[in-house]
Structure 1
Amino acid sequence: MMTKNRIYLLILAVAMIFAGLVMPYWFSFLVTVALAKGLVVLGLVILMRAGLVSFGQGLYYCAGAYAVGAFSDYFKTDNLLLLLLVAIVCALVISSIVGLLLSRYRDIFFAMFSMAFSMILYGILVKSAALGSSDGFNVVSPTFFGWTVHASGGNMLTYWAAIVLAFLVGAVIWRYFKSPMGMAGEAIRENEIRVEYLGISVQKVIYIKYIIAAVLASLGGAITAMTVGHIDPEMAYWTTSGEFVFIALMAGTGHVAAPLVGAIIFELLRTFAFQVSPYTWQMILGIALLAIIIFLPNGLWSLKEKLMKGAKS
């Protein structure tokens, strides 16, 4: 049976889907990109709950985007579901190989090795003339088996896909966090040796978490590519991965909805900061992050818990 919270979230998702038909396209565009990045951050949160921080999620964010762009261009297809499936397969193949190495490392070594692989992809793409080199190339606007809908001046399919994916993935990851495999991550973060004594393979748990995080990042990259209509190697650059870590720290890891909400807040804050101060908008974001770290060290989601406790008292 569905709990009240799930019913409320389902109602919110349906309301957002219909709201896209009337809201300005710039806002639906912003929400779509934010939710796509929220999927990446949700994967990062899975790793952070196990005590690992990845500065290389841009690897799969970019790989998913380029897989969609290259596949659609080579096979002349614009089917949304097929392109998302291609992004998933791409992430599974790469992460199943890279994860064999990274699952052996912890702390700063995990963070730096993950960033190194991301920068390797960046270097390859910059030198690949067939893939547009540093300029990248355009991506086809998706359809759903030939059907599409335009509202407020843009294609609504990616907006709807982002909302559906956010709801479905959020529900699955919430159940995953409640499962033995999901809770093993927090146990690994607290005491990895004791987990091994219990007969659980820490490397296997981290390997699975890494693959899940990679798939989510690839889906986020695919949605972003089809929404923006253009991809370039900057999607694999370390600053992109750093942005995901920024959002994760800002949002917190207390709930699966935190990365999604945090990504929307981040995009709104960045848009506002750029409008107010186009040359120093990074400073505004930095000040915002410092304020959150000082006053809300567990992220913005902890504010909800504090408000609920205050209401009960």
Structure 2
Amino acid sequence: MRYILFLYAAIAFVVLAAGSIILPDWAMFLFAMALAKGLVCLGIVAMMRGGVVSFGQGLYYCIGAYTATLAANLWGVSDIFALTLFSSVVCLIVGMIFGPMLATYRGIFFAMLTLALSMVLYGTLSKMSVIGGSDGLNIGSPTFLGWAPEGRDLQTALYIYVVAIVVITGTLMRIYFDSEQGLITLATRDNELRVEYLGASVRKVMAYNYTFAAVLGGLGGTIAVVALGHVDPEFAFWTTSGEFVFVAILAGYMSVPAVFVAAIILEVVRSFSNLYFPNTWQLSLGIFLLIVIVTLPNGLGSLLSRRKGGKT
């Protein structure tokens, strides 16, 4: 079955990458930002499958963005592959530190602790004038293995790079979800005590999921700052983390593609609501989320599950 997954991944990459031929620059930027946020949300979904929700994924979104920006400004690193790798490693280390500490908590305690960590980073960065304080920092245009595109070529290259990262990451996370560790995560959601009696370590599973989510958050933050060209402490603010939770709820925990579809839908709805209803766009988003919750309580991913169930 795995070769079918790889086939679907290849088709998805070709179709999405081909969109760069017809999409205008603004649309490629919008999709790149949506997919970057989708990576962060995929990490939240990984934790949701175990029955916990992080309200502080802005922590790693911000760490990834600031790491890439500081590497570019202080050390002159402009290659996007190097920036992505460096940010991911830093977030991996931070996730490995906090993961085991948070893995013992559940419910509102886990959510509030993750939110607190994110807000501590926000407050710290806002007061550090040496790295821009509340104004943040700018980052130059990236290079791609020595190639320095400009204009539309830059937008196209960045879009295709984001698509490649999303397809690869999504495929790997699907494999993880279907693995023994991933299935234990689902079992933990249903009955944590029974999983412990069967000999599995729930704390270890939760720590793994949190660490994976940290890396995904760093990936998303790196892509976002490169696309925007600017980072500020708002990347770690609670409203940013809330947006990620919004997308995760919209997508549900049953499907990987649904996460990115939900991220794109949110970005499109917000952009056009802000354009046509500048003073009430938050209301439009709220109504949209309520409709989805009422009609699809398990998220967009439940649609795919229903299709599979209907075929069997």
Report the TM-score, using the length of structure 1 for normalisation.
0.95
CA deviation after TM superposition for structure 1 residue 107, in Å: 0.6
Mapping 1:26-45, distance limit 5 Å:
26-45=26-45
CA deviation after TM superposition for structure 1 residue 151, in Å: 5.5
4+ aligned runs moved over 6 Å, structure 1: none
Structure 1, gaps ≥5 residues long: none
CA deviation after TM superposition for structure 1 residue 46, in Å: 0.3
Secondary structure class of the residue paired with 2:104: coil
In structure 2, the residue matched to 1:238 is 238
In structure 2, the residue matched to 1:152 is 152
CA distance in 2 between partners of 1:39 and 1:185 (Å): 19
CA distance in 1 between partners of 2:295 and 2:18 (Å): 36
- Determine if the alignment matches structure 1 residue 280 to structure 2 residue 272: no
In structure 2, the residue matched to 1:248 is 248
Query: Would the alpha carbon gap of residues 271 and 287 (structure 1) be closer, same or farther in structure 2, given more than 3 Å must change?
Result: same
In structure 2, the residue matched to 1:65 is 65
Q: 1:8-61: per-residue Cα shift (whole Å, max 9, x none)?
A: 442231232233144200000000000100100111000000000000100000
Contact residue 25 and residue 151 of structure 1 kept, 8 A: no
Contact residue 46 and residue 213 of structure 2 kept, 8 A: yes
Query: Would the alpha carbon gap of residues 20 and 157 (structure 1) be closer, same or farther in structure 2, given more than 3 Å must change?
Result: same
Secondary structure class of the residue paired with 2:158: helix
Which amino acid in 2 is paired with 1:218? G
CA deviation after TM superposition for structure 1 residue 152, in Å: 3.4
Q: 1:177-222: per-residue Cα shift (whole Å, max 9, x none)?
A: 1111111111111111111111111111111110000000110000
In structure 2, the residue matched to 1:164 is 164
CA distance in 1 between partners of 2:130 and 2:158 (Å): 26
In structure 2, the residue matched to 1:228 is 228
CA distance in 2 between partners of 1:138 and 1:173 (Å): 32
Secondary structure class of the residue paired with 1:155: helix
In structure 2, the residue matched to 1:81 is 81
CA distance in 2 between partners of 1:249 and 1:93 (Å): 27
Contact residue 142 and residue 157 of structure 1 kept, 8 A: no
Q: CA RMSD, aligned part only?
A: 1.8
Contact residue 59 and residue 118 of structure 2 kept, 8 A: yes
Identify, as 1 or 2, the structure richer in helix.
2
In structure 2, the residue matched to 1:264 is 264
In structure 1, the residue matched to 2:102 is 102
Structure 2, gaps ≥5 residues long: none
Which amino acid in 1 is paired with 2:228? V
In structure 2, the residue matched to 1:197 is 197
Which amino acid in 2 is paired with 1:58? G
CA deviation after TM superposition for structure 1 residue 3, in Å: 4.4
Secondary structure class of the residue paired with 1:200: coil
Which amino acid in 2 is paired with 1:48? M
Contact residue 22 and residue 151 of structure 1 kept, 8 A: no
Query: Would the alpha carbon gap of residues 184 and 8 (structure 1) be closer, same or farther in structure 2, given more than 3 Å must change?
Result: closer
Secondary structure class of the residue paired with 1:176: helix
Which amino acid in 2 is paired with 1:288? F
CA distance in 1 between partners of 2:243 and 2:282 (Å): 11
Report the TM-score, using the length of structure 2 for normalisation.
0.95
Mapping 1:172-191, distance limit 5 Å:
172-191=172-191
In structure 2, the residue matched to 1:139 is 139
Contact residue 55 and residue 114 of structure 2 kept, 8 A: yes
In structure 1, the residue matched to 2:53 is 53
Query: Would the alpha carbon gap of residues 136 and 174 (structure 1) be closer, same or farther in structure 2, given more than 3 Å must change?
Result: same
CA distance in 2 between partners of 1:95 and 1:221 (Å): 15
Secondary structure class of the residue paired with 2:271: helix
